[in-house]
A and B are shown apart, each in its own frame.
Chain A
Amino acid sequence: MLQFLFARIMAAIPTLLLVTVLVFLLTRLVPGDPALLMLGDMATESSLADLRHSMGLDQGLLQQFLIWFGQVLHGNFGQSIQTGQAVLPLILQRFGVTLSVVLAAIVIASLLAVPAGMLAAWKQNSKWDIGLVMFSTFLLSIPSFWMGLLILLTLGLSLGWLPVVGYVSVTDNLQQGVLYLLMPVLTLVLVEIGALVRMMRASTLEVLRLDYVSHARAKGLRERTVLSRHVFPNAFGPTWTLIGLTLGNLLSGVAVTETVFSLPGLGRLLVDSIYARDYPVIQGCMLFIATLYVLTNLVIDALYPLFNPRVSA
């Protein structure tokens, strides 16, 4: 296992290096720069030159990259051009918000989707199956911004149950913090649950058709035992992988949901930084996200044997 993990970590290093180079180049190749955006339509040639100089943008690309990369190697991701804040603490602070929403959403979505998918497969072609498939397809077809707005307008505005605007950290005030997270979490649960139900249903159907399941039933095992001991472990593998990929994707930032619910999360930070051409933050976020994605999938792979006995560590 340790050897496997070590190999995966080693394999991730060139990926991350490539990400740093690509992100650096791509952000510089896009037209517009932070100095111009800061000065807007009133930028004179001299004020623009001054600002570009103070930001180090008048240096060569290679030199800029080497300075930034050297700082990153020392754990310094630089400072935000927009706000002057240190980039790494800023990313970690924003990531905390995203993490609290995403973890809650993925746990709830998984807890609901896995039994629902299994039920649909077990009762294939029944009303349950048709209903669940229709519902999950319906959820899959709704874009996250629309889902968010529907929830916001219903629970927040029409019913007035939950706060419409603002954010309170759960570390500052647990009760208030939870209230502010309910709608974004519900949005993500509804957005992600469809795919998980469909995946779990498909893999369960596949397993249910296998000979060993018929054999287990022929031996007289109770249906509950057949499903929990023989079907679930084999059927859950693909869903587990999907959960891992979904988690990686969501942790990278749920910009739309964060924007609708005014959450100061990682996704919003990245999107705002791209619009503002805040190079240090864009680069820092992308490197952080790439690392996160690699680590999430590493953890998912490492835990895979727990759910699928056919895969050994």
Chain B
Amino acid sequence: MKKRLTGVAIVAPLLLAQPLQAADNSVIHFALNQDIRSSQPGVNRDGNTDDVLMHVVEGLVGYREDGTVGPMLAAGWKVSDAGKTYTFTLRDGVKFHNGDPVTSNDVVWSWQHWTAPKTQWRCLREFDGSGLIHVTSVSAPDAKTVVMKLEKPVALFLDSLARTDCGAAAVISPKSVDANGKWIKPIGTGPFSFGTWKHGEYVSLMRFADYASLPGKPNGFVGGKKALVDEVRFMAVPDAATVKAGLSSGAIEVAQVSPIDASDLKKDANIGIEVAANAQRHGLLIQTNDPLLKNVKLRQAIASALDTQQIALGTSQGMATPSNSNISTASAFYTAVEKQGYRYDPTQTARLLKAAGYHGQTIEIIANKRSTVPSFDMAIIAQAMLQAAGINAKVTTMEWATQLERYQSGRYQMMAFTYSARFNPALAFEQIVGDKTKQTRKVWGDPQAIKLTDSLAYMDDKSQIQTTVDALHKQMIEQVPLIVFYPGLDIVAHRKNISGYKAWLAAAVRLWNVSKA
């Protein structure tokens, strides 16, 4: 009797669990480290929110695989009036998820929706003249044409339109909001439509059968797109160990993982790993206004005391391509010049420290322990290397929100930091360069660097951009306002029955053109 009861106790869960183990080839389960923030692209958002919603919505333009901008809902565009007028022609046959055809009036409505202050679109200030770009009017002269006029020509305009944190300035159906203008859900044009969102659990997207794909191969956010499964389910799984267990068990089929977890998962015969450099940048920021660190000789001493290659390889489990450039190694603007970086030279360090008049004062490196970035690891290794070179570095660990507040206010000496992805060099340098008296978050306040960075925004000639980027890079290495160790890594673990998944520059999830056997 006892044996029988034990048998029942063991078998019962097995029987109950049967439906859970059954493979469903029409659904892909993707693990997000936390739930999305909202269903409004570019409004209340974070990286996870962008990842999910970029399957649902599309803009007039989008980023290609190499970070340049290509047409998405627009078949093409013409620039006239000395760069102040952009005339977009819409593609034929594009429909919203509710079946309505996309017209130029929808583009105008969408623009008005995003730029209405009550929408709280995070990129409103990018286009209202607060920054470089001022869109003065958007009109629809006919059903297929949209005209956007700028106050002055800014070459960065299309890049700004394509930004994923701006939701690619999505073209959405007016039926995405109710009669009172209240948001319901995104009715976009993407290969998947917005399905069910169970807060704290998952959000599911459903295949859009009438999706009008661009011709050709997949290419970043543009190019050929096809939903190959009926549903993609983004599950909120906050614990990295649980994600690993989920991948091993098959409950999760795809997930972005850390380098250390990827190393572990490589041992599992059922799991494949995809790695690509993205447009994030991991490194150490140096406060050039600090009484001690404003001395360029000391900053150069710090740079020469750090074996940046070792830091890059050590904190990425050997997966990273070390680079001191502010431009990703995957960028079209990453050339031989950008490959030149800091040289590890302890002898030079001693000489520079003497020249700087350094006498062992403590230098604090702020770091955080978020699992998604190598901040703490970079800081600890840098601390050891600096101490070995006679620099009294000390790591202080902070919670991310606290560190971010210090970054924003400029209250730090050094900080192990990860910059979010920027594909366009003008935007990548804009993140770090600026007048520090006006914007305390800026890292590099050199007037010449500011001038060069500002000029990038108005350039559309590739060779001219390259020359300016090269000049900025050389100047950055000379002045050491920050030390980049390597571009971020998009590391994706997937079950071997998943095919077609590609990691890429944007570190953004793309589950179109992905199938499940």
What is A's interface to B at a CB cutoff of 8 Å? 30-33, 36-48, 50-51, 54, 82-85, 90, 93-94, 149, 152-153, 155-157, 160-167, 175-176, 178-179, 182, 259-262, 264, 268-269, 272, 275-277
Contact = CB atoms under 8 A, between A and B. Distances in A.
A160 B249 contact: yes
A168 to B, nearest CB: 9
26 contacts: A30-B402, A31-B401, A32-B399, A37-B400, A37-B404, A38-B44, A38-B46, A38-B122, A40-B46, A41-B417, A44-B125, A44-B439, A83-B37, A83-B38, A94-B200, A152-B242, A162-B13, A163-B251, A164-B246, A165-B242, A165-B243, A165-B249, A179-B13, A182-B13, A262-B236, A264-B199
A83 B43 CA distance: 11
Interface string B109-150: 000000001001010110000110000000000000000000
B249 A54 contact: no
Interface string B35-54: 10110000011100000000
Contact of A269 (B16, B38, B200): B200
A165 B252 contact: yes
A240 B378 CA distance: 50
Nearest to A47: B125
A36 B408 contact: yes
Contacts of A182: 13
Contact of A41 (B120, B238, B402, B419): B419
A161 B125 contact: no
Most buried by A among B238, B239, B407, B441: B239
A262 B238 contact: yes
Given A160-B249, A165-B251, A166-B235, A260 B242 contact: yes
Contacts of A262: 201, 235-239, 242
B406 interface: yes
Interface of B: 13-14, 16-17, 19-21, 29, 31, 34-35, 37-38, 44-46, 117, 120, 122, 124-125, 130-131, 165, 199-202, 235-239, 241-243, 245-246, 248-249, 251-252, 399-402, 404-408, 417, 419-420, 431, 438-439, 441
A50 B242 contact: no
Given A31-B406, A166-B201, A179-B16, A275 B399 contact: yes
B123 to A, nearest CB: 8
B296 to A, nearest CB: 24
Nearest to A51: B120
Contacts of A51: 120, 122
Contact of B120 (A54, A163, A164): A54
Contacts of B406: 31
A165 B17 CA distance: 13
A44 B430 CA distance: 11
A26 B407 CA distance: 21
A36 B238 contact: no
B420 A32 contact: no
A161 B195 CA distance: 30
Given A163-B251, A264-B236, 6 more contacts: A31-B402, A41-B404, A47-B122, A157-B249, A269-B200, A272-B238
A44 B236 CA distance: 30
Nearest to B19: A176
A156 B404 CA distance: 38
A66 B398 CA distance: 31
8 tightest Cβ-Cβ pairs between the two chains A and B: A32-B401, A264-B200, A165-B246, A165-B251, A31-B405, A32-B405, A31-B402, A161-B13
Contact of A268 (B200, B242, B431): B200
Nearest to A277: B401
Contacts of A93: 199
B441 A41 contact: yes
A44 B199 contact: no
A160 B17 contact: yes
Most buried by B among A32, A50, A149, A276: A32
A295 B249 CA distance: 41
A179 B408 CA distance: 46
Contact of A36 (B37, B242, B404, B431): B404
A42 B418 CA distance: 12
Contacts of A268: 200, 238
Nearest to B13: A161
A179 B17 CA distance: 7
Contacts of A85: 199
Given A36-B401, A90-B199, A275-B401, A165 B235 contact: yes
Contacts of A37: 400-401, 404
Contacts of A90: 199
A156 B17 CA distance: 10
A272 B34 contact: yes
Nearest to B252: A165
Contact of A259 (B44, B238, B248, B441): B238
B131 to A, nearest CB: 7
A166 B405 contact: no
Contacts of A152: 241-242, 245
Nearest to B243: A165
B61 to A, nearest CB: 20
Contacts of B37: 38, 82-83
A156 B249 contact: yes
Most buried by A among B35, B46, B401, B438: B401
A157 B441 contact: no
A261 B130 contact: no
A192 B243 CA distance: 26
Nearest to B434: A44
A22 to B, nearest CB: 20
Given A163-B17, A164-B246, A165-B251, A43 B441 contact: yes
Contacts of B400: 32, 37, 275
B251 A40 contact: no
Given A36-B401, A36-B404, A182-B13, A164 B245 contact: yes
Most buried by B among A40, A45, A47, A54: A40
A260 B248 contact: no
B242 A261 contact: yes
Contacts of B117: 50
A269 B236 CA distance: 12
A164 B242 contact: yes
Contact of A264 (B38, B201, B404): B201
Contacts of A46: 125, 130
B420 A42 contact: yes
A43 to B, nearest CB: 6
A41 B431 contact: yes
A46 B128 CA distance: 11
Contacts of A156: 245, 249
